[in-house]
Homo-oligomer: A and B are copies of this chain.
Amino acid sequence: MTAHEQPANAASTDADGGVREPAKVRRGIPDATVARLPVYLRALHSLAEAGTSTIASDALAAAAGVNSAKVRKDLSYLGSYGTRGVGYDVTYLIHQISRELGLTQRWAVAIVGVGNLGHALARYGGFATRGFRVAALIDADRSRVGERVDGVAVSHLDDLAQVVRESGVSIGVIATPAGAAQDVCDRLVAAGVTSILNFAPTVLSVPPGVDLRKVDLSIELQILSFHEQRKASAVAAFDLRDTRDTVSS
């Protein structure tokens, strides 16, 4: 079933893609840092709107919900963009992070599966405001084809390759039932899509060079359930002990 190994969640670290880097400066930004850059970016945008022009690492850390040392180390991977004694220039930092994340261009995104979730994603404002454009909607149900969601017409799955190529899509979002996901994924890859975000509750496999991330709603809930149960049983143990022995060590 699985032709290729699928790394749990992180992007597939892509093993140098077969291309030897010019190796001038080592540009190895850790995955954990990349995952936090969008959070900083959002905080910075709202600071900019509020009229803040410079910000220190600990204020940014508070706004992003992390530790200030982490902020400084993360930002140091991008370069030395801060001023000692002052902090970081908000506008400049927004520019640098955006550039690093590749958000200075508008990526065309295709959403496959126009059910409840696909609909919600297509209408989600957060995409458009941050460098993404929903360029194609695709569904396997012919009765849906032609329907327009936010100005974008739904195309049929059979036309996926054509639509993807014509609209220059490089990122695909899978919002289909689990059973259809691997087939859709293969079609996307065959059509030249090199980054995929999977919402279907199933493990997908992709060839090397294609990045795959997943978002799984029910997994998140199950993780919460684990902690919820632990809390509940801790309380139960406490209550129990409390009735037997009120003196704690």
Contacts and interface: CB of A to CB of B under 8 A. Distances in A.
Given A38-B218, A65-B203, A227 B126 contact: no
Contacts of A116: 119-120, 123-124
Given A211-B227, A225-B171, A201 B103 contact: no
Interface in A184-199: 194-197
Contact of A222 (B19, B22, B37): B37
A204 B64 CA distance: 9
A122 B17 CA distance: 40
Nearest to A205: B65
Q: How large is the interface on A (under 10, 10 to 19, 20 to 34, 35 or more residues)?
A: 35 or more
Nearest to A124: B217
A81 to B, nearest CB: 17
A64 B204 CA distance: 9
B225 A102 contact: yes
Given A20-B248, A194-B228, A213 B220 contact: yes
A101 B225 contact: yes
Interface in A155-193: 170-171
A43 B221 contact: no
B195 A235 contact: no
A70 B19 CA distance: 30
Contacts of A228: 102, 107, 170-171, 194-195, 211
Contacts of A73: none
A143 interface: no
A106 to B, nearest CB: 10
7 interchain residue pairs of minimum CB distance? A102-B229, A6-B65, A116-B120, A126-B218, A195-B224, A38-B222, A65-B203
21 contacts: A19-B235, A19-B237, A20-B248, A21-B234, A35-B219, A38-B216, A102-B228, A102-B230, A103-B225, A107-B228, A115-B120, A116-B123, A119-B120, A126-B218, A127-B217, A132-B218, A132-B221, A170-B228, A213-B224, A215-B217, A215-B220
